Every structure is written in structure tokens, then in C-alpha cells.
Amino acid sequence: MSAPAECQEQLADLLRAAGRAGGAVEAAFRAVPRHLFLPGLDAGQAYQDVAIVVKSDADGLPLSASTQPTMMAIMLDQLDLAAGHRVLEIGTGTGYNAALIAHIVGDQGSVVTIDVVPELTSRARASLAAAGYGGVSVVCGDGAAGVPDHAPYDRIIVTAGAWDLAPQWLTQLASGGRIVLPISVRGIQLAAAFEQTGDYWASRSARRCGFIRMAGPATGPESLLALGPQPGLHALAVDGPAPEAEQLYEALCGPVTAAPAGLHAASTAELADLDLWLTLTEPRLTRLNMMGRHEGLAGPAQQRIARLMPLGGLARAGGSDGLGVATLAPAARAAGREPIAIVIEGFGPGGAGLAAHLARRALAWHEIGRPGAAQLELGAFPARTRLAALGDASIVIDRPNARLTVRWGSGRSSARGPKD
């Protein structure tokens, strides 16, 4: 085999061994050559199981990327494709994901993909043709509007972070259709597969993920805060009062206060579940996510901050003690089979108190059975649906086009957020 073919087989083997790709999805990864969609990279780079940024803005923030193959496989599995399906992809990127979909649905199916960046759609169209998938329809336009000319679709997949469910997507789905998208829930993205159930849309699965946010009207009202000299690191402040950028940078560069929770986690995935639970059940805190340039381009202070907050954190701005920021301690994520100590770290004048509070909340998470993303159930109701009609939903999050409900199934969570 040639070097690219060997690397392609190794990637497919890795996905299969991890339980991420089987059947038609595995066959697609073995058939579609990723390196043709990533010109300029050698085979070893093109077939790594990592996301690869293909376009950035002037500040070094990514505008488009080829998604990590593991995440592609997860979402394709969630999409539950079959031969003959008609599929719409929102967010073309390189075109590789559209080619995987086209391979699965076959000649009797159809694939339409849309992206707002003309440079990307032009490049993807050429790459798809070179890889033998020239039948994919590539459209340049606003993905939030979908592509009504080719509707209805059996499946819609969104490959950019969405803050809301665009009504056009739902109306362009055929009866019994399914949509998979990375939906932002208090700043944490969840790849959720929705199907219609009566008068609302219910998730069939949810997986934590991280995608570049959609551009245009679908972008949420998050605040992007520059941390230190630019171009460099940014913090995305979501669903709460945004701290002042200079104060936040000063706090994160300063002393750290550790608050041990007296608990251990079995894996980094379990730590991520705790991070998700804390974020969803502490609605008065602002979620912070770190965003930055390519590795090695940020200064030492930005690099330190990025290492401190790989999962993001929570902030309390304007408290009586001053700005407080807290996050799960990075030391707790060391590799190995030993249990991982759960420690909350605090920054800023109010950081110690906030870290102690979240350490106590971690005990509550433990006591109710450590609910995680695998048990999460999401619902999407029409906007302004009466709260009484939502039943026993744990948390309600309003968006312009939908009223989202979030709860942990199987009786795993008794925590409730405010229904405002």
C-alpha cells in the first residue's frame, strides 16, 4: 500500500478499536481519502485523529476546520444514515465529511452541503470531484437558512457550533427525519440527535463536543474577551455577565487557591461530566471557554492560562468579594490508571470562595449518582411554550427560536435550575 493508504487504514483501525466506527461508517473512513481534502499536508498529518484548522481570522481565531475524525464518526453514528437518504450538511469545511456521507447513502441518495465562505465552497467542490464524489451539491450561502430548493431531507447535520435551532432546518426535514447538531447549552456544546415527538423535538443521544461557532445571525450573544497581548488567547463568556477583560487576565495570571473536593474521578471523561453538571446547575455563574491561535503562537502567560483551563471555567463577576473564577484543576487530568483527584482551583479576589462553593457542589453531584452527558436528555419546544407544559424538566434555557429543556434521565439528577 502507498503511504496515504496505510495511514488511512490505521485511522480506520483506530476508530474501530475505540468503538467509534463500525459498519457503513467504518467502510466510509476506509474508502474516502482525507488527504485529498487537506492539500499541503503529508499523509501522516492528514490522517491524525485531530481537528485541523484550514482558515483563521486576523486574530488567529479559527474560522473553519476539518473536524476530528473521532467526532465525525460519533456524529455520523448519531445521524443513523441509510442507503438512499437525502442529506443536508450545514458547514462544508473541506468537504471531507460530505464525502463520507455520500459514500454511506450511495448513488440512490443525495447530499447537499452549504457554507458561507466562497473560498471554502470552491475548494471543497474541487476536492470532492478529485475524490470521486462530484455528485455532492455544494452551495455557498448562509447555513442558517438551510437549502430549501433541495428539501425535504431525511437527515440534516450541522458541523458548526449552534446557539439556537434555526426553524428553517426543522421545516426542511421530512417526516420522521433527524437532525444532529452541536448545540450550545450554557456555553458547553453537545452533539445532539433530535427527532420530532409530538409537538416538540427530543434528543436520542448527546455527546460533548467542541466546534467553531456558526457565523452570521445564528451566532449567540457571547462576549469575546482578549486576554493579554494580541494576537493570542481569548475567553468566550457565555450566558452571564462578562468580566472585564483586563481584570480577568490579571486574575488568571495571579495566585491560585486549591479547594479539594475529597473525591476522585475514574477518567477525564468523568471530570468533563462534572464540569457539565456544575455549569448547568449554577445558572448565575458565567461560563468561560478558552479560544486561541495555533499552538506556540501565544505568549507565556496565555499558554499558562490555556493549560489551567482546558475544559473552561465558571466566573462570578461583580460579587462582594470581587471577580472570582474557578475551574477543575489541570493536575487532576494527569494520564494513568490511578484515580484522579477532583480539585477546584480559584483565581481572583473572589476565587477562593467560589472554588470552595463548587467543591461542595461536586459532593452533591457525587451523591446523586454522578450524572453525565450519556444520561442527558434534551428537548426543544417552540419558543415561549408555557412552563407548565414542559413537565419535570430540570433546567429551561430560552433561545429566540426554541425553549430548550435539559435533564438527566434514569432518575440520575434531582438538581433543578430556575424556570424563568
Closest CA to 117 of 95, 101, 86, 148: 95
| C-alpha cell at position 145 | 437558512
How remote is the C-alpha of 122 from its chain's centroid?
26
Q: How far apart are CA 53 and CA 47, in angstroms?
A: 14
In the set 64, 110, 127, 203, the catalytic residue is 64
Residues in the chain: 420
Cell of 15: 476508530
Strands 153-158 and 173-185: parallel
Residue 138: helix, strand or coil by DSSP?
A: strand
Nearest to residue 194, comparing CAs of 397, 393, 378?
Answer: 378
Q: Are 82 and 105 in contact (CB under 8 A)?
A: yes
Cβ of 157: how many Cβ atoms within 10 Å?
28
Single-letter residue type at 112 = V
Indicate the SS3 state at residue 410.
coil
CB 54 within 8 A of CB 38: yes
Backbone angles phi, psi at 399, to 5 degrees: -130, 165
414 noted as active-site residue = no
**Cα maximum dimension of the chain:** 65
Grid cell for residue 95: 468537504
Measure the CA–CA gap between 41 and 346, rounded to whole angstroms: 41
Burial class (CB in 10 A: 0-12, 13-18, 19+), 235: buried
CB-based contacts of 287, cutoff 8 Å, min separation 6:
186, 187, 188, 237, 238, 239, 240, 279, 312, 313, 314, 315
Which grid coordinates belong to 254? 495571579
Residues taking part in catalysis: 64
